[in-house]
Amino acid sequence: MLKLASATPPGWAAFAAARLDAVLLDHAHCERRAAATALALLSRYPHHGALQAPLAALAREELAHFEEVLGHLARRGIVYRRAQPSPYAGRLHDGVRAHEPERLLDRLLVAALIEARSCERLGLLADAVPDPALAHFYRGLRAAEARHHGVYAELACALVPREAVAVRLDALARHEAEVLARAPVAPRLHDAAEPA
């Protein structure tokens, strides 16, 4: 159901699980940015009534995830602070077309792909971390981010015919796979692992 054009390479989860403090800090910022993305779309497109309620609910849920990650950081004695973001989201947005109405479609589909990749990687982490509380948390998030992928994809289908959404989602998924293939090695949710 997730429309990703590549699978995360083997070895990524072990690399990330061995650097959990950094991964959790990056993850907190990812959840904060996910809420901000939904709010930015609400602010930019008030004339698209279909977006408002689903994106408001999604923003609240992402903020709840953010608070939960803050709890895990505190439990591990990690101070929440500014962190160098991954280039992933910025490079992904290079694939967004400049003019409306294509721009909104692309922004929704890029958001759908970020949710899909987060879902895939949080699921891999769930199976790789030794801490049962964290594994349980990641499993819950895997389900939530899969649902968010569906929310964004369905909102896109409310704007343009489903077949056109599928074609564009395929193209952007290939772009996402290329962005990820060029990702730096870093202990972040959307970056690469050291080769094994």
Question: What is the binding site for Fe ion (CB under 5 A)?
Answer: 31, 34, 62, 65, 115, 145, 148
In whole angstroms, how close is the CB of 139 to Fe ion at the nearest point? 13
Task: Answer whether the bond into residue 101 is a cis peptide, omega within 30°.
Answer: yes
Nearer to Fe ion, 120 or 145 (CB): 145
In whole angstroms, how close is the CB of 196 to Fe ion at the nearest point? 29
Tell me which residue of 1, 4, 60, 54 sits closest to 35, measured CA to CA: 60
In whole angstroms, how close is the CB of 112 to Fe ion at the nearest point? 10
Nearer to Fe ion, 28 or 105 (CB): 28
185: which strand partners? 192
Phi first, then psi: what are they for 185, rounded to 5°?
-75, 115
Q: Which contacts qualify for 44-48: CB closer than 8 Å, 24 or more apart?
A: 45/104, 48/104, 48/159
In whole angstroms, how close is the CB of 136 to Fe ion at the nearest point? 15
Nearer to Fe ion, 29 or 175 (CB): 29
